Amino acid sequence: MARSELKSRVLQENKSTKMGSVSANDVLVALRQVLPAEQEFIALHEPLIAGREWDYIKDCLDSGWVSSVGRYVDRFEDMLAGTCGVKHAVATMNGTAALHLALVLAGVKAGDEVLMPSLTFIATANAATYCGAVPHFLDCDERSLCIDPAKLAAYLEEIAETSGDGVCNIKTGRRLAALVPMHTFGHPADMDALIEIAERWNIVLIEDAAESLGSTYKGKPAGSLGDLAALSFNGNKIITTGGGGAILTNDTAMADKAKHLSTTAKIPHKWSFDHDQVGYNYRLPNINAAMGCAQLEQLPGFVAAKRSLARRYQEQFTDIAGMRIFAGPEETESNYWLNTLLLEQPDRWFQDEILEVTNSSGFMTRLIWKPMHRLPMYSDCPRMDLDTTEELADRIICLPSSAVLGAELSQAGS
């Protein structure tokens, strides 16, 4: 009998596959205790539109200011900078554009290598590739799901050396131009240790903070700790502009250059079109920024709702052996952008059974992204030992995490 046929028969007979005394059905029961019973389908993420989105967007439509300039763009950037504790925010058309432009600002060039986790969304690797650079993949740790700083420090002592061009990989001869930690699912990386490594080797540190707006590390906002940071406001993020992103920095010169490059490097003039270098059409439209302003006004409530949902998940899964809801290190406070069920042992078969049972019951659950080094276009990129990444990929299941779900729990408990 084919594996797929056997799998289907097992599911039809008992809706579960055992891992010891625990079954996929136990996960389903726990989800039903947390999530609304009256909904036939619950998405992994959906935006919560509950503020002045309609008013601000209508204002754009009424005024005709719907494109890449307008007062909502300026206001959104000011609000972001204040929320994230930085001097400057530059809005972009999406988070990938923000990452790409941050690497350009950091001086990443063709032939360089960019250090990043293999356990990340593909935008991190793609952004480096857009620069003509080569992604160099790092392992993560189970404590944070982010780059393992101790392992990275030892690895760099082995493969890196300082040269006239900065620091290079002695195995490839390429310059190590930037370090890009990603705050996985909203859980901040160990930034003190990573900053120390970046300073030790004089490497620019760029936070991939796409998922971590509202999270903090030792009381400081995620996105405020590196030389640069990138945010995302896709429809599945904690706030959304439909599609959008932003670069964060405390460096005024970098912020000015980001605005210039993201506006096709056009020299300001009333009627003349002059451009002084190759630029990018990366600016966020005013109509999207209007939505972002309304969403950002609600951020504290969204974060509270996400954390409420995470606590409820943690309560329901406490007594289920062999798995737990992931919580970040004590020195961090996550926005719980994406709640994570973590199996205690790698079990790809059991993962599939949980996904089959939950999705067929109307609860959208997903695997974590396939690690970058497993993708064909990045399989030949340089990498350290990735044992923890390989293991975690076969242990993680992502659960429904919309802020609206946490808000409904809060209302039900009030």
Sign of the dihedral defined by the CA atoms of residues 242, 46, 249, 296, in that order: positive
Question: Is 0.85 surpassed by the pTM of this model?
Answer: yes
The chain-wide mean pLDDT, for the chain, equals 93
Residue 252 is predicted with a pLDDT of: 98
Q: Quick one: what percent of the chain has pLDDT higher than 90? A: 88
Mean pLDDT across 51-57 = 98
Alpha helices in 69-183 (DSSP H): 71-84, 95-105, 122-130, 149-159
Mean pLDDT across 295-310 = 97
- In degrees and rounded to multiples of 5, residue 396 shows phi and psi of -95, 135
Residue 9 is predicted with a pLDDT of: 43
The yes-or-no verdict on residue 294 having pLDDT over 80 is: yes
Q: Quick one: what percent of the chain has pLDDT higher than 70? A: 94
- 168-227 pLDDT per residue, tens: 999 999 999 999 999 999 999 999 999 999 999 999 999 999 999 999 999 999 999 999
Residue 249, strand partner residues: 88
Domains by residue range for the chain, with CATH: 3-44+299-413 (3.90.1150.10), 53-297 (3.40.640.10)
**Of 200, 248, 226, 210, whose CA–CA distance to 80 is shortest?**
248
Question: For 377, which DSSP code?
Answer: G
Residue 315 and residue 323: Cα distance in Å, rounded?
13
In the block, residue with structure tokens 């204002």: 59
Candidate from 237-241, 349-353, 373-377, 405-409 with smallest mean pLDDT: 405-409
